[in-house]
Amino acid sequence: MAKYLMLKHYRGGRPSVNSVPMDQLTPDEWAAHVQYMADMEERLIASGELVSSEGLSMGGAWVRFDGEGRPPVVDGPFAETKDLIAGWMMIEVDSYQRAVDLASELSAAPWAGGTPLGEWLELREVMSAPPADAG
Element (H, E) at 39: helix 27-47
Residue 133 predicted with pLDDT over 80: no
pLDDT, mean of residues 87-116: 95
Residue 32 predicted with pLDDT over 80: yes
Numbers of helices and strands, H then E, in the chain: 2, 6
Residue 53 predicted with pLDDT over 60: yes
pLDDT score, position 79? 55
Q: What are 4's strand-pairing partners?
A: 91, 125
Closest CA to 116 of 127, 104, 103, 107: 107
